[in-house]
Amino acid sequence: MPFLFASMAKEKNNFFITTAIDYVNGEPHLGHALEKIQADAIARYFRLSGKDVFFLTGADENSLKNVRAAEKEGIAVEDFVDKNTKKFKSLKDFLDLSFNDFIRTTEERHIKGAQKLWQECAKKGDICKGIYEGLYCVGCEAYLTPEELKNGCCPEHQTPPEQIKEENYFFRLSQYQKQIQEIIENDKLKIIPQTRKNEILSFVKSGLKDICVSRSNGRAKNWGISVPDDDTQKIWCWFDALGNYITALGYGGNSEKFEKYWQKGEVLHCIGKGISRFHAVYWLGILLSAGLRLPDKIFVHGYITVDGQKMSKSLGNVINPFELVEKYAQKIGNKEATVDAVRYYLLAAILSTEDGDFTYEKFEEKYNADLAKGIGNLVARVLTLATKLKSENENLKFTSRNSKLEEIKSKYNKAFEEFDFYGALGAIWELIGWCDKIIDTEKPWENRGNSKEVIGDLLLVLTEIAELLKPFLPRTSEKISEQIKTGQGEPLFPRI
Ligand SMILES: [Zn+2]
């Protein structure tokens, strides 16, 4: 694709993209799938543009949430996190994810790196002892202030936080307030979208306090990474978890990848809106303290609601991505098509930076309208016309309809640079509609003399559509290219 991604050429060729590492206190749900699929589309897009991409995801196993969930099930924490982490890892096959590494925060490489990061901050004089007296939400694994509560509860979890008083270590975040503000204001760390940047800035401007970064072994239930030189305390799981982005690359050990992708690469974190403060403020403070490079961009996505409601166990409306794929693989009779259909829905029906809704009805409607009827129908129509022409021993002719293609590609690339998948896919579907219109108006089956040109053009545009689909629907893209070559094939998306 010589000119497709040409506009993306940038200086830094090494590109490091991460998702949040998930708490494994439960099974993955559709919200986890959304983030992984978004990051996957970005990783694939930049690979196609010629970048050397390293795509990382993983599991946060050191949190207290995991301990409590394991206790509830009555099994050892190690076995519990093992079991759930496997499920998160297996999203790879179920959603066709192309990540290069999956880090678990209980791995030796992570423990070593997280402790080194702590020591670097301590050397700088940014870690010191103090008494923490205040509130803690185990759901968030975060310290809260009374002002942050809504009706006495954590706004994210709607549960009352715990009152805590103990001697812990603190990280001197307040030292970095000015620097952090300046970095975000000037987009040295670019936060996408602007609304999230504004939120973070107003949080920073309201004054950064030092943060508590450890807990007693008792409160940690003896689970987690020990504070270096003090085995009575465990590192607060966020301090350790944020470090995964560099420990996975070898920070604290063999650091070849760390140098390549972190220190010399372009770094993008993909996260949900609930944890932007940890990434855009706390993580920045830690990196500044340790004297490490900062990430370039943070892309913040919204949440998925189900029929307008937040997904929650108590409401019983949690969508499990494995069950979703299995259910429609049965209904549609094709697992590959189903995986791409799920990817399509999450990327095309939901604005990437906003909350979006899922229902089975909406999923089926979108499937039938855009996939079965839209792309599926177009590919079948064009191939039928081309086969008919071939059977009449006519040679195809190609004329130029490049201006429309150029217009679409520039829309597509522009949308992608802003991580606007909805916009990028919208551009492809505009092209699909444009092809349908050509067929309807030119009626190449009537053989008006220009049929060879029309069909030749349509095949050319289909080839381009397959290219443009690659980051989003990789299997479908392959199938279209194959069908163009062989002139035959099954329907891409049988109607539901
Ligand atoms: Zn909470």
- Dist. CA 417 → ligand 1 center (Å): 32
Looking at residue 4, what is its pLDDT?
A: 45
Which whole number is the average pLDDT over 20-31?
95
Q: 190 pLDDT exceeds 50? A: yes
Mean pLDDT of 435-454: 88
Given pLDDT bands bounded at 50, 70 and 90, which one contains residue 401? low
CA 148 to centroid of ligand 1, rounded, Å? 10
Q: What is the DSSP letter of 153?
A: B
Q: Residue 8: which pLDDT band, with cuts at 50, 70 and 90?
A: very low
Q: Are 137 and 156 in contact (CB under 8 A)?
A: yes
The token duo for 170 is: 């603190």
Are 448 and 455 spatial neighbours (Cβ–Cβ below 8 Å)?
Answer: no
CA angle (80 as vertex; 311, 313 as ends), nearest 5 = 15
Select from 57, 148, 121, 83 the least CA-distant residue to 285. 121
pLDDT of residue 171: 98
Query: Considering only 12-16, 39-43, 275-279, 394-398, which range has the smallest mean pLDDT?
Result: 394-398
What gap in Å lies between CA 95 and CA 391, rounded to an integer? 39
Q: Which residues contact 68 (CB under 8 A, 6 or more apart)?
A: 25, 138
Asked if residue 446 has pLDDT above 90, the reply is no
Q: Where does residue 163 rank: exposed (0-12), middle (13-18), buried (19+ CB within 10 A)?
A: exposed
How many percent of the chain have pLDDT more than 90? Answer: 87
Q: What would the pLDDT profile of 273-327 be if each residue is shown by its tens digit?
A: 999 999 999 999 999 999 999 999 999 999 999 999 988 877 889 999 999 999 9
| Residue 396 confidence class, pLDDT cut points 50, 70, 90 | low
- Residues near 218 by beta carbon (within 8 Å), at least 6 away in sequence: none
pLDDT band at 448; cut points 50, 70, 90? confident
Average pLDDT of the chain, as a whole number: 94
Confidence class of residue 459 from pLDDT cuts 50, 70 and 90?
A: very high
Q: Which residues pair with 143 in a beta bridge?
A: 136
Tens digits of per-residue pLDDT, 200-232? 999 999 999 999 999 999 999 999 999 999 999
3-state SS class at 54: strand
Enumerate domains of the chain plus CATH numbers: 6-301 (3.40.50.620), 320-486 (1.10.730.10)
Cα distance between residue 43 and residue 56, in whole Å: 10
C-alpha 365 to ligand 1 mean position (Å): 35
Burial (CB count within 10 angstroms: exposed 0-12, middle 13-18, buried 19+), residue 326: middle
C-alpha to C-alpha distance for 226 and 320, rounded to whole angstroms: 34
Cβ burial, residue 283 (10 Å; 0-12/13-18/19+)? buried
Q: What is the pLDDT of residue 116?
A: 98
Quote the ligand 1 centre to 184 CA distance (angstroms): 25
pLDDT of residue 397: 66
- Rounded to a whole number, what is the largest CA-CA distance in the chain? 86
Q: Are 480 and 469 in contact (CB under 8 A)?
A: yes
Structure confidence by residue, pLDDT tens digits, 65-122: 999 999 999 999 999 999 999 999 999 999 999 999 999 999 999 999 999 999 999 9
Ligand 1 centroid distance, CA of 159 (Å) = 7
Active-site annotation, residues: 29, 32, 137, 140, 154, 157, 310, 313
Give the per-residue pLDDT at 156: 86
103 Cα–ligand 1 center, Å: 24
pLDDT grade for 399, boundaries at 50, 70 and 90: low
pLDDT of residue 370: 98
pLDDT in tens, 379-390: 999 999 999 888
What percent of the chain clears pLDDT 70, i.e. is strictly above it?
96
What pLDDT is recorded for position 128? Answer: 96
Span 332-347, pLDDT tens digits: 999 999 999 999 999 9
Both structure tokens of 368? 């039938």
Question: How far out from the chain centre does Cα 254 lie?
Answer: 27
Q: Give pLDDT, residue 398.
A: 60
CA dist 209 and 261 (Å) reads: 31
Distance CA 138, CA 159 (A): 10
| Token pair in block for residue 464 | 């381009």
Confidence (pLDDT) at 2 = 37
What pairs with residue 165 in β-bridges?
133
Q: How far apart are CA 22 and CA 111, in angstroms?
A: 17
